[in-house]
């Protein structure tokens, strides 16, 4: 591909400036609605948690502002940055959110920032959707090839790439011109942050480590980048993405498209591919939903074993052992350079063995907010049958195995062996399929299935909303 003389940030700025609702393909609009519905349900679940109350109290005390921005599920207003921080964490804390390229979760950041900006610019539903389209696509295209290399340098990709995506969301909502959009991107490249220290050392649950502030801080910094650019007092470096000291070189160690780690394929990428077919081919369509409160790469393992049990009419007592093949990077979370556990073949609570064992013994694993599988109520870690069966789950990390596309072998006690695989494409749900899966979350939602149906119905017609107040009221 011939290098484009126009900088990457400028190409995104021009595209985002000109992007209008009527230019969005039907499938992109449906996907954006699915993403919005997922995160509003997530906020409904998360707002009842103790951690969410602490976040709300903190923002109320430090940044409460009577004429400020609304916050999901709260009765006070705050600064725009404070509202973005709180909105994001209310969606992030439940564990129900989106996932792209294994370890980026843009939704809470992008949607949290969008909602924090919405009342200051009299946004309607179409403006929300087109702004989210711009930011999601920007974040996904940047992250697509560079996630493994970014994680290998000790940076946590989720907040790093989401800061840039949410900054473009914010700038589009503010109606900034081309130069200000490009400046927003440049500012955001310097504000992005987040290290892999916590996930590499043993926990990724929100509220337990400094990871709890990664995504909320990304939303805050994104809002700051856009509002600073809007003043016209700041100019941005033109080649802030691909330059020799730019975003890719710094966070991914990549100059000229070199990659230290890849899920599949060669270790060099054409940097021009980041903007290739921009506005024609949408990478955001490949986003999946993390409906279980565990690392996203375990989701297809759970769902595949669940489906195999149903197809072959198996019960837990029928199964002798299970073998799972998945991409080797997934077995070395968060990065082959900083794996949480040096030997991924050892079964532990929280390992893929554990979730595969749950699916084999109990036919699934509890979704976020949902009813538990197994005999131990709301603490699945105490299911002794699952703990005993983990030693009969073999995990194999395979180079060039497609990401989030496991292959599973189930051997029965009668000697039968069943093999199946789950291609990643089956996880990239639209609104209707997501809505069906969200019904499983009803026990954790105030108002249950009726509330979930209200959220889905509201989002289904979001393009007809003249204001976005009802999105705050439904949580």
Angle between helices 214-231 and 80-92 (to 10 degrees): 150
pLDDT at 3: 53
pLDDT at 1: 46
When pLDDT is cut at 50, 70 and 90, the band that residue 5 belongs to is confident
When pLDDT is cut at 50, 70 and 90, the band that residue 142 belongs to is very high
CB atoms within 10 A of CB 120: 13
DSSP for 144-174, written as a single string: HHHHHHHHHTTB-HHHHHHHHHHHHHHHHHT
Strands 288-290 and 319-327, bridge-based pairing: unpaired
The span from the CA of 103 to the CA of 81, in Å, is: 24
pLDDT over threshold 80, residue 376: no
Mean pLDDT of 77-85: 98
pLDDT over threshold 80, residue 318: yes
Q: What is the mean pLDDT of the chain?
A: 95
DSSP for 169-223, written as a single string: HHHHHTT--HHHHHHHHHHHHHH---BSHHHHHT---TTSSGGGGHHHHHHHHHH
The span from the CA of 99 to the CA of 39, in Å, is: 12
When pLDDT is cut at 50, 70 and 90, the band that residue 166 belongs to is very high
pLDDT over threshold 50, residue 94: yes
Tally of CA atoms within 13 A in the half-sphere of 102 that contains its CB:
27
Sheet holding 407-412, edge to edge: 393-398, 319-327, 407-412, 417-421
Phi-psi region of 429 (alpha: psi -120 to 50; beta: other; left: phi over 0): beta
Q: Which domains does the chain have, with CATH numbers?
A: 8-287+431-473 (1.10.4100.10), 295-424 (3.30.1330.120)
DSSP H or E segment with residue 99: strand 97-99
pLDDT over threshold 90, residue 202: no
CB 15 within 8 A of CB 130: no
CB 54 within 8 A of CB 93: no
pLDDT over threshold 70, residue 377: no
């Amino acid at each position: 591909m011939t290098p484009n003389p126009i900088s990457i940030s400028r190409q995104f700025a021009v595209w985002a400036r000109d992007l209008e609702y009527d230019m969005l393909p039907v499938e992109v609009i449906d996907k954006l609605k699915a993403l919005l519905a997922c995160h509003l349900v997530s906020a409904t679940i998360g707002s009842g948690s103790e951690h969410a109350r602490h976040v709300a109290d903190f923002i109320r005390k430090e940044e409460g502002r009577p004429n400020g921005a609304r916050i999901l599920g709260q009765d006070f207003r705050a600064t725009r940055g404070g509202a973005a921080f709180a909105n994001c964490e209310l969606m992030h804390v439940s564990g129900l959110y989106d996932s792209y390229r294994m370890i980026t979760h843009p939704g809470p950041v992008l949607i949290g920032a969008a909602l924090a900006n919405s009342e200051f610019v009299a946004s309607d539903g179409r403006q929300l959707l087109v702004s989210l389209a711009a930011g999601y696509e920007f974040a996904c295209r940047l992250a697509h090839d560079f996630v493994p290399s970014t994680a290998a340098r000790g940076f946590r990709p989720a907040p790093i790439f989401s800061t840039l995506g949410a900054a473009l969301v914010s700038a589009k909502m503010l109606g900034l011109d081309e130069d200000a959009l490009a400046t927003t991107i440049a500012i955001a490249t310097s504000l992005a942050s987040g290290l892999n220290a916590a996930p590499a050392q043993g926990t990724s649950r929100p509220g337990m480590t400094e990871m709890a502030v990664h995504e909320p801080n990304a939303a805050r910094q994104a809002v700051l980048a856009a509002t600073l650019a809007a003043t016209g007092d700041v100019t941005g470096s033109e080649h802030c993405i691909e330059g020799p000291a730019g975003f890719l070189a710094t966070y991914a160690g990549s100059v000229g498209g070199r990659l230290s780690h890849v899920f599949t394929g060669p270790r060099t990428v054409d940097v021009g591919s980041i903007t290739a077919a921009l506005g024609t081919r949408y990478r955001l369509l490949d986003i999946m939903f993390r409906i279980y409160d565990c690392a996203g790469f375990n989701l297809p393992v759970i769902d595949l074993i669940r489906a195999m049990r149903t197809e072959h009419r198996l019960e837990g007592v029928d199964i002798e052992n299970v073998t799972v093949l998945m991409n080797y990077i997934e077995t070395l979370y968060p990065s082959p350079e900083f794996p949480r556990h040096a030997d991924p073949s050892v079964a532990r609570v929280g390992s893929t063995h554990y979730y595969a064992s749950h699916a084999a013994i109990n036919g699934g694993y509890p979704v976020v907010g949902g009813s538990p599988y197994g005999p131990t109520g709301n603490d699945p870690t105490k299911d002794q049958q699952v703990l005993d069966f983990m030693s009969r789950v073999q995990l194999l990390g395979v180079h060039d195995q497609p990401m989030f596309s496991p292959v599973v072998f189930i051997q029965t006690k009668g000697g039968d062996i069943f093999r199946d695989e789950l291609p990643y494409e089956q996880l990239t749900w639209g609104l209707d399929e997501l809505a069906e899966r969200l019904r499983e979350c009803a026990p954790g939602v105030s108002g249950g299935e009726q509330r979930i149906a209200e959220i889905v119905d509201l989002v289904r017609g979001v393009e007809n909303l003249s204001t976005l107040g009802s999105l705050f009221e439904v949580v």
